[in-house]
Structure 1
Amino acid sequence: MIPYGRHHIDESDIQAVADLLRDGFLTQGPMVGAFENAVAAYTGSKYAVAVSSATSGLHLAAAVAGAGPARALVTSPITFVASANAALYNGAAPLFVDIDPETVNLDPAKLEKLLAANSNVTAVMPVHYGGLACDMAAIRDIANRYGVSVIEDAAHALGGHYADGGVIGNGAFSDMTVFSFHPVKAIAAGEGGMIITNSEESYRRLLRLRSHGINKLDDPFIHTEDAFADGEANPWYYEMVELGYNYRITDIQSALGLSQFGKLDQFISRRRQLAKRYDAAFSDFANLRPAQPGESRDRSGLHIYVVRIDFKKIGMGRGELMRALKARNIGSQVHYIPVTSQPYYRNLGFRTADYPNAADFYDQALSIPLYVDLSDDEQTMVIEALRELVG
């Protein structure tokens, strides 16, 4: 079976985890900091906070950005539900902005209209769909004018670049950026995520929220009469200063993530080669086209490769096509059912029809195999199967 996505694990990754299991901490040890330092250095940011998942990272980032009751957070309807759920976790209202149909990313012009009509927005969370960075210069400019924080959902985008050539996560256009290390992402840590920021204040609060709201670094103690004896800090003492969470990542995950991270550029290079080969192959297809522009390949993180298919013209429904591909041992997927179509969000009053570009995209989208170990011969099988089935 050729799946739509798959992680790449080699002997160096296995050895890194084995070495840790023999000699290292299992959790809350030095490997976590080493992983954070590596990602911060790569992106050119000041601080990194590793967490148990990108979902937990989005939750904490939204909290630090001020999401809460009577406030709202804006994101795209074409994303995994975790992006919008970050608002709800904090008691804030989710709002959605339709996509640009050419990039599948949040449309800055529509964002400005929404912010002009809603004074309670505390943060916007642009999603770098498929690994392609949103128009962050425009989004940052709009957010600044309306006094809104920016949190990049870069779960798809580790290793990618902005339009100006800067590394995604460098903080040039946002207050925080969140990456994912889920197995089908650019690098795998089993599970895990990381929040990147250039703000020391945000960094310190993220550290506390990650670990039960307990004081960290050199946070001052509140009850000094309990904290000190004979002029010295009591070695057992700690204080929970706010309501936090157990969102810590383990040293096991960090050892694997750090080993994988050393191969990130190699992984992106292979994904880019495969994506460009798909682009060339599909150039003469009448009823199928790449979902994102080919000129974006050199700066995208290329998490997934999505095509848009006119199912009415080919006389075949998406489910039928996916089953036909599966019969040829080819996996496929849909990224994503619009968040606004989910029952929970429908009950909140959202309708995907209010976001026509997102609705149109969902009707046509199909993710096809893209991963580091996909061979040229296997990719040819995918291309020829689509040529046969789609025409």
Structure 2
Amino acid sequence: MQNEKHMRPIPYGRQHITEADIQAVVETLQSDFLTQGPKVAEFEQAFVRYVGARYAVAVSNGTAALHLCAMALGVNESSRVITTPITFVASANCVRYCGGTVEFCDIDPATALIDIEQVRQMVESKPRGYYSGIIPVDFAGNPVNLEELRQLADEHGLWIIEDAAHSPGGFFVDSKGERQFCGNGKFAELAIFSFHPVKHIATSEGGMVTTNDEALYKKLLLYRTHGITRDADLLEENHGGWYMEMQALGYNYRIPDMLCALGISQLSRADEGMVRRRQIAQVYDEAFADAKGIAVLGTNPAAMTDAGETGHAYHLYVIQVADRKGLYDFLRGHQIFAQVHYIPAHTMPYYRSLGHKKGDFPKAERYYEACLSLPMYPTLTEEEQAYVIEKVKEFCKA
């Protein structure tokens, strides 16, 4: 083990920028387009090939992606949407941006994913039409069983937005034994991804929406750019080559070509990064298998193949311990910057002002009190991981 004093800080996540990434950005900076150019469409096409969807729309960030999804599905003041409290608040905020009401559903404590059986109970307790849709979250990269959720949604006329920000490359196994990759559009009307630096694919900021629905795809394109179109087939009038029309109230959620160039380069080695993430997770699993006082957050059984392969994308590796604050501080004292994901959304002051309160979702709150995300990124070295494991065990034995 390297001398602890010379160990570099170890964050919970870290981007990996290569010379190829830098060159891709430089070439775009030297091109004719910095924004609204060819790299945007190139990134979108590369991404649909990666996840298996028909359409993709690249946007400025994952929150913008969620907002556009809610707009495209017509969320408004009369909409009630179910989501999980264990998520970044954007998963809920996108409903509020459109004036809708957010209703949280508690989690399955084994996985921290939204509890589909509790979703069913919520929906069946109300008349048809009371709820509009569901926003499940592939938390930590752990895929939700969207086939099961789709069956529920179809029974009650609900739409689904899959928040797959943590799970590009992740998959679950459907009832036919086939792998269904996150964001492929087969079970959710829309799915979103994030390209924040700690995510699998880093563009500094950026996001993507995927769908198999052409009508929704066209709405996303319109809303992404102020609600403005130049498409001659869509114009109500046409004054000439310069003419454009604002046909809806949209936003400036565009993403620059230089970030798309970086995304294309990053995407080219996404499979390699996924292999490494799963290797790191396996080492953690083995290290903590018999460790007293350390519980590892489980994988959704639907994300495991008969051969024992996992569809977990491992954006995060989460453990649970009794003295989470003590472990968090202890690790920071040893240059290991673990993180907490997430403070339950319903306990935030904003959502409490809307009538939610602590105690509403006890499983989510118990999860929060114990959870800690350990370092998980492809460039984490074996030596660094061993050091993290050593320090976690050292504290938990104290």
TM-score by length of 1: 0.94
Determine the structure 2 residue equivalent to 1:298. Answer: 310
Matches within 5 A, 1:134-145: 134-145=144-155
Q: Residue in 2 aligned with 1:385?
A: 391
Given that 1:338 and 1:352 are in contact with CA atoms closer than 8 Å, whether structure 2 keeps it comes out as no
Q: Give the Å deviation of 1:216.
A: 5.0
2: CA distance between counterparts of 1:271 and 1:351?
Answer: 36
Structure 1 counterpart of 2:366, one-letter code: D
Does the CA-based 8 Å contact 1:65-1:123 persist in structure 2?
no
Q: Residues 263-321 of structure 1, C-alpha deviation per residue, up to 9 Å, x if partnerless?
A: 1000010000000100000011111111123975720111011101122xxxxxx3332
Q: Give a deviation string over 1:208-231, Cα, whole Å, max 9, x none.
A: 000000125455222x2xx24xxx
Q: Which residue pairs with 1:315 in the alignment?
A: none
Q: 2:113 maps to what in 1?
A: 105
Counterpart residue type for residue 221 of structure 2:
L
Aligned to 2:364: 358
Contact kept in structure 2, 1:68 and 1:91, CA below 8 Å: yes
CA contact (8 A) 2:317 2:375 kept: yes
1:184 aligned residue: 198
2:234 aligns with: 220
Match of 2:53 among 27, 45, 52: 45
Determine the structure 2 residue equivalent to 1:246.
Answer: 252
Cα 1:367/1:2, change in 2 over 3 Å: same
Partner residue of 1:206 out of 206, 209, 220: 220
Distance 1:204 1:218, change over 3 A: farther
1:75-130 residue CA offsets vs partner (Å, 9 max, x unmatched) = 10000000000100001001111111111111111111111234332221000000
Alignment match, 2:348: 342
Q: CA deviation at 1:163?
A: 2.3
CA contact (8 A) 1:338 1:359 kept: yes
Alignment of 1:1-391 (within 5 A): 1-118=9-126, 119-164=129-174, 165-215=179-229, 217-222=231-236, 224=237, 227-228=238-239, 234-293=240-299, 296=303, 298-311=310-323, 318-391=324-397
8 Å CA contact 1:279, 1:294 repeated in 2: no
Distance 1:71 1:169 in 2: 23
CA RMSD in angstroms, aligned pairs only: 1.3
CA contact (8 A) 2:171 2:311 kept: yes
AA partner of residue 321 (structure 1): L
Deviation of 1:329 after TM superposition, in Å, equals: 1.1
Deviations, residues 229-249 of structure 1 (Å, cap 9, x unaligned): xxxxx1111110110000001
Percent sequence identity is 43
Sort the Cα spacing of 1:160 and 1:276 in 2 relative to 1 into closer, same or farther, 3 A: same
Q: Structure 1's 73 and 216: CA in aligned 2 closer, same or farther, altered over 3 A?
A: farther
Q: Tell me by how many angstroms 1:375 deviates.
A: 0.4
Q: Distance in 2 between the 1:139 and 1:45 partners?
A: 19
Once residues 54 and 292 of structure 1 are traced to their aligned partners in structure 2, the CA distance between those partners, rounded to angstroms, is 25
AA paired with 2:17? I
Whole-angstrom distance in 2 between the partners of 1:289 and 1:219:
58
Q: Give the number of equivalent residue pairs.
A: 377
Structure 1 stretch displaced more, 352-361 or 240-249: 352-361
CA distance in 1 between partners of 2:299 and 2:141 (Å) = 12
Partner residue of 1:231? none
- Distance in 2, Cα, partners of 1:352 & 1:175: 32
Give the conservation status (yes or no) of the 8 Å contact 2:51–2:168.
Answer: no
Instruction: Supply the distance in 2 between the matched residues of 1:279 and 1:197 (Cα, whole angstroms).
Output: 34
Q: Which moved more, 1:61-70 or 1:113-122?
A: 113-122
Q: CA shift at 1:372, angstroms?
A: 0.8
CA contact (8 A) 1:66 1:122 kept: no
The answer to which of 183-192 and 323-332 deviates more is 323-332
Distance 2:78 2:252 in 1: 26
Paired residues of 1:77 and 1:96 also in contact (CA < 8 A): yes
Distance 1:274 1:121, change over 3 A: same
Structure-1 separation of matches of 2:369 and 2:355: 21
Alignment check: 8 A CA contact 1:281 1:383 kept:
yes
Q: 1:218 to 1:306 in 2, by over 3 A?
A: farther
Instruction: Say whether the 8 Å CA contact 1:45–1:198 is kept in structure 2.
Output: yes
Kept in 1: contact 2:228–2:247 (CA 8 A): yes
Alignment-mate amino acid for residue 291 of structure 1? L
Question: For residues 288 and 186 of structure 2, what CA distance do their matches in structure 1 show?
Answer: 35
SS at match of 2:143: coil
Q: TM-score, normalised by structure 2?
A: 0.92
AA of the residue aligned to 2:388: V
In structure 2, C-alpha distance between the alignment counterparts of 1:113 and 1:219, rounded to whole Å? 46
Deviation per residue, 1:171-210 (Å, 9 max, x gap): 1111011011000000100100000000110000000000
More divergent stretch after superposition (319-328 vs 135-144): 319-328
The separation in 2 between residues aligned to 1:286 and 1:106, in whole angstroms, is 27
Q: Is the 8 A contact 2:111 2:300 kept in 1?
A: no
What amino acid is aligned across from residue 124 of structure 1 in structure 2? I
Structure 1 gap segments, 5+ residues each: 229-233, 312-317
Stretches of structure 2 that go unaligned for 5 or more consecutive residues are: 1-8, 304-308
